[in-house]
Amino acid sequence: MKQFLFSIAVVILFSTTVFAQAADKLRAGWYRASIFREDGAEISFNAEVQVKNGKPVMFIRNATERLLVDDVKVKGDSVNIEMPFFESYFRLQLQQNGSLKGKWFKAGSLKLLEFPVTFVYGQKERFIVNESTTQNATGRWQVSFTRPNGTDRPAIAEFKQNGSSLTGTFLTPSGDYRFLEGVVNGNEMQLSCFDGSHAYYFTATINGNEISNGKFFSSASPVELWRATKNNTAALPDTTPVTQLKPGESKLNFSFKDVNGKTVSINDARFKNKVVVIQIMGSWCPNCMDESKFLSSFYKEYKSKGVEVVALAYEYSTDFNRSKASVQKFIKRFGIQYPVLITSTTTSDEQRTEKTLPQLTPIRSFPTTIFLSKSGNVSVIHQGFFGPGTGHFYEEYKSEFYRTIRSLLAD
């Protein structure tokens, strides 16, 4: 009897030890992550864990995008994941089957948002396809979103379908919804993305050249309805008020601190007789992330040709240290060499333009790009940014951007 009890104890001890070892190890491979909203909707995405130089890293997949997350810490059964930009992070616990459970935290202008989240190990697929695909969403669509207050806002969508696999994005007057990935299941479509700030999920029914019963879930925001009609010549209407110079104004005049606490002014010698690109941005803004990547590469190419770039960051808080920490993530990830200044007001302040750039009418979109001539005069103001997820729209934006720069340099 004693021998039997001893054997049982050994088995229990061995099983506990094996479980403890398994729970201490973040498994390499694919995961299907789901963020759970209060209304029960799940915003799903995929992530792959790899081991680089003996340390775990994660790649978040959104269609062709692979977003590197290299701040992954494992201690015991705890896994802490810090997103490379945005005030966004995961606090998770390892499960016996290799999956993860915990919460996703996202800072906002008023409070810290938190959502339950699971990472299911061994699942590379984002959505389950259990019906034969009967519709094809490939093409351009004229889209109308309906806000919770009943008003409509225009957009266009570009989709590409291969079998049941679906990718694409939505474009609005202020920017795009980046890389979306999903499926067409029978005649039902599902698309989603996650990049640390965006947490989007779209559903709808496709019937030939019409899309109906659409629902759009975004983090903790109220659900928006949407519908669409296929239209290969669909375009965005010019309905958004345009930021411009006030009557009698021709130049901007500003001074703000950079992330090192040094005051930088547009009147400094480094900007004299140069073509200057001013980036109106925020570290909370996903389209600003894409624009920062583009501008960082552009600046390295053109800084020796008489061009300067300076970014003005409008953050969630007037706490300089909080804003600095968030902005520095952008600078580090994209290797930004131009100055990024932290403005003295927040993005939610209705008087943000009057307090920082009083020469302009209100700033409506993030990002907004302002081009200054060599004489310091405001030459062009461009609202919004279409990133690489928009395909040829991105290529058209870059072509227009470079034409503007070459024209100002030649003047």
For residue 385, give the DSSP letter.
B
Q: What is the pLDDT of residues 230-272, one digit of tens each?
A: 999 999 987 667 899 999 999 999 999 999 999 999 999 999 9
Q: Which amino acid is at 198?
A: H
Question: 411 pLDDT exceeds 90?
Answer: no
pLDDT at 2: 47
pLDDT band at 217 (very low <50, low <70, confident <90, very high): very high
From the list 133, 148, 139, the residue with the least C-alpha distance to 228 is 139
pLDDT at 13: 43
Tokens of 100: 């993860």
pLDDT at 201: 98
pLDDT band at 24 (very low <50, low <70, confident <90, very high): low
Q: What is the pLDDT of residues 344-362, one digit of tens each?
A: 899 999 999 999 999 999 9
Quick one: what percent of the chain has pLDDT higher than 90? 88
pLDDT at 395: 96
| Residue 342 to residue 259: CA distance in whole angstroms | 7
| Residue 300 to residue 315: CA distance in whole angstroms | 26
Mean pLDDT of 348-377: 96
pLDDT at 3: 52
pLDDT at 325: 94
pLDDT band at 375 (very low <50, low <70, confident <90, very high): very high
Collect all residues with Cβ–Cβ distance below 8 Å to 320 and sequence separation of at least 6.
257, 342
pLDDT band at 85 (very low <50, low <70, confident <90, very high): confident
Pick 336 or 24 by higher pLDDT: 336
Output the average pLDDT for the chain: 92
Mean pLDDT of 288-311: 97
Question: 4 pLDDT exceeds 50?
Answer: no
Domains of the chain are 22-121 (2.40.128), 139-230 (2.40.128.120), 255-410 (3.40.30.10)
| Residue 163 to residue 26: CA distance in whole angstroms | 33
Instruction: Give the rounded distance of the alpha carbon of 318 from its chain centre.
Output: 22
H runs (alpha helix) in 140-261 = none
Collect all residues with Cβ–Cβ distance below 8 Å to 183 and sequence separation of at least 6.
126, 127, 129, 164, 165, 166, 189, 190
Measured in Å, how far apart are the chain's first and last C-alpha atoms?
97
pLDDT at 25: 87
pLDDT band at 22 (very low <50, low <70, confident <90, very high): very low
Question: 314 pLDDT exceeds 70?
Answer: yes
Collect all residues with Cβ–Cβ distance below 8 Å to 53 and sequence separation of at least 6.
none
Task: Please report where in the chains the tokens 């081009």 appear, as a residue.
Answer: 371
Tokens of 159: 């989709």
Q: What is the pLDDT of residues 162-204, one digit of tens each?
A: 999 999 999 999 899 999 999 999 999 999 999 998 899 999 9
Mean pLDDT of 289-318: 96
